[in-house]
Amino acid sequence: MDVKEGDVLNYDIVVVGGGPAGSTAARFAAKEGADVLVLEKRQEIGSPVRCAEGVSLSWLEELEIDNIDSSTSRTMKGAILYSPAGNKLKITERLAGDEVGVVLERDRFDKDMARLAVKEGADFMVKTSAVGLIKEDGVVKGVEARYLGKKFEVRADLVIGADGFESQVGRWAGIYDSLKPKDIMTCFQYRLTGVNMDPDFTHFYMGSSAPGGYVWAFPKDENTANVGLGLQFSRLKGEKTPKDYLDEFIENHDDYKDGEAVDMVAGAVAVTHPPEKAIAPGIILVGDASRVVDSMTGGGIVNSLKQGKIAGEFAAEAVREGKFDEEFLQKYEKRWRDELENKLWRNYMAKETAMQLDDITFDKIIDALSNIELETVTIGAILEGVKKKYPELVEEFQNMI
Ligand SMILES: Cc1cc2nc3c(=O)[nH]c(=O)nc-3n(C[C@H](O)[C@H](O)[C@H](O)COP(=O)(O)OP(=O)(O)OC[C@H]3O[C@@H](n4cnc5c(N)ncnc54)[C@H](O)[C@@H]3O)c2cc1C
């Protein structure tokens, strides 16, 4: 689509952001008959990749997707957790069930999600930034946008803010405050080739290698992995950067130290509690923009997709009813919270405690778990397992068992 300076485009819904949340919201809104335009500020959907690319497959059926083979680089058999002293816990497919997943080709995955939306009739514009809201008598009526230096308007009754971690739509609408430094996970990652870990498992390293977070290694092929870390922003002290922490980790691990970096990524995720609000009159937020990343793992793709579907179906309903006021938008709040909020809160609370654990405690936890037969991998089952050997460690988590 081409536009000229001053053009006015008319749609039912404008989606700001063409990531998994935005494309999925657009897909389901278009499927239900709404006229939808997605604006993506980058020149290519999904690129450059800022992700470790790990995802479970538990959501496919819900999202009405048969498989994601075309955007998968490797299927995992399970995960291995390592304590600072090197104690290991192997979580196999049998234990993890639906939560075992794949390592994606994230750029292809995001394009696939966009393709599904286009198939349902959604329009997309890349290299197009939303730069502000259009308001009439205090009511949102779309967004101002810029494409190749040309300013134009997209008039729509509903704006879906799917613009990620740094969401401007959320700020323009006055929906939320700044994040606390303790709730920001700052990340750094290399794609290392020439590495030597087990390529059928994702690998997680706990403890002070990544204070308040963890190091991950997600295999892309037999000898290549995304090796990165996320650490609590408030723990960054002095001159030591996330890159310094990762370099130190790699240097001290034989599986990785001979690897060569072919790619480098820096980014951040919000590991915070669910927002008080994800709506304002004429606006709904979805995905990272509404802070639905799982606080324990830092993973946000699955929740973005699930919430995207709810947002899209709701948006089409709002268009059919012609209602965009806050009272009507409460239905969206209720629907996504019913599906996601309990687990988000539970994992946020667990993260708040887990971030305080020292290396010796991580050693004990992994030691306790590696010596028993876990039936499933839930926070409750893990705590029960630890309680058997180190009851004093689970006192703070009693209410989660
Ligand atoms: C280093 C790192 C590793 C991660 N690893 C994992 C992982 O392994 N597994 C997992 O599940 N999650 C992971 N995440 C989190 C995951 O990437 C996000 O949760 C997910 O991308 C959220 O999708 P989204 O559609 O909400 O936002 P995004 O994917 O961020 O998409 C938002 C889009 O909006 C666009 N945009 C922003 N502003 C505007 C504007 N004004 N106008 C137009 N477009 C705009 C952006 O360009 C972007 O394309 C990781 C994050 C980071 C930083």
User: pLDDT tens digit string along 301-337?
Assistant: 999 999 999 999 999 999 999 999 999 999 999 999 9
Distances (CA, A) of 43 to 39, 127, 277, 311: 11, 4, 31, 25
> At which residue do the structure tokens 């460690």 appear?
393
- The Cα–Cα gap between 307 and 293 comes to 11
Which residue owns the Cα nearest ligand 1 atom 37?
163
Cβ neighbors of 244 (< 8 A, separation 6 or more) are none
- Which of the four pLDDT bands, split at 50, 70 and 90, describes residue 369? confident
- DSSP assignment of 332-357: HHHHHHHHHHHHHHHHHHHHHHHTT-
Is the CB of 355 inside a 6 Å radius of any atom of ligand 1?
Answer: no
The rounded Å distance from CA 126 to ligand 1 centre is 16
- Ligand 1 pocket check for 19: Cβ under 6 Å: yes
| CB of 265 shorter than 6 A to ligand 1 | yes
Rounded to the nearest whole angstrom, what is the distance from the C-alpha of residue 15 to the centroid of ligand 1? 14
**Which pLDDT value is given to residue 49?**
95
Residue nearest ligand 1's atom 18 by CA: 300
Mean pLDDT of 287-312: 96
For ligand 1, atom 35, the nearest C-alpha belongs to 17
Is 307 a pocket residue for ligand 1 (Cβ < 6 Å)?
no
Contact 100, 57 (CB under 8 A): yes
Is the CB–ligand 1 distance for residue 53 below 6 Å? yes
Residue 39 Cβ < 6 Å to ligand 1: yes
25 in contact with ligand 1, CB cutoff 6 A:
no
**pLDDT at 387 (0 to 100):** 84
Q: Are 34 and 97 a contacting pair, CB within 8 Å?
A: no
Residue closest via CA to ligand 1's atom 1 equals: 51
Q: What is the DSSP string of 298-314?
A: ---HHHHHHHHHHHHHH
Among 40, 51, 131, say which to mutate for ligand 1: greatest number of ligand atoms within 8 Å of CB: 51
Q: Residues near 129 by Cβ (< 8 Å), separated by ≥ 6? A: 39, 41, 145, 146
Q: Is the CB of 269 under 6 A from ligand 1?
A: yes
Let me know if 292 is exposed, middle or buried by CB neighbors in 10 A (0-12, 13-18, 19+): buried
pLDDT of residue 98: 62
Q: Which residue has the tokens 């919201």?
A: 25
Which among 41, 102, 126, 263 is the best mutation to test ligand 1's pocket, defined by most ligand atoms within 8 Å of the CB? 41
Q: Lowest-pLDDT range, 22-31, 142-151, 364-373? A: 364-373
Distance 1 CA to ligand 1 centre (A): 24
Domains of the chain: 8-51+107-179+275-351 (3.50.50.60), 180-270 (3.30.9.10), 356-400 (no CATH)
Peptide bond into 219 cis (omega under 30): no
Q: Give the residue, by CA position, lying nearest to ligand 1 atom 4.
A: 51
Cα–chain-centroid distance for residue 168? 17
Whether the pLDDT of residue 279 is over 90: the answer is yes
Evaluate: CB of 189 within 6 angstroms of ligand 1.
yes
- Name the average pLDDT for the chain: 93
| 363: confidence class by pLDDT, cuts 50, 70, 90 | very high
DSSP alpha helix (H) spans, 128-226: 168-172
In eight-state DSSP terms, residue 149 is: T
**What's the pLDDT score for residue 131?**
98
Which is the closest atom of ligand 1 to the Cα of 46? 49
Calculate how far, in angstroms, residue 18's C-alpha sits from the geometric centre of ligand 1: 9
Using the atom order of ligand 1, give the atom closest to the CA of residue 129. 42
Phi-psi domain of 156 (left: phi exceeds 0; alpha: psi -120 through 50; beta: other): beta
**Residue 351 tokens, joined:** 């993260």
Confidence tier at 382 by pLDDT (50, 70, 90): confident
Is residue 379 over pLDDT 60? yes
pTM: 0.95
* Residue 373: strand, helix, or coil: coil
User: Tokens representing 130?
Assistant: 């939303």
**Ligand 1 pocket, residue 270 CB under 6 Å:** no
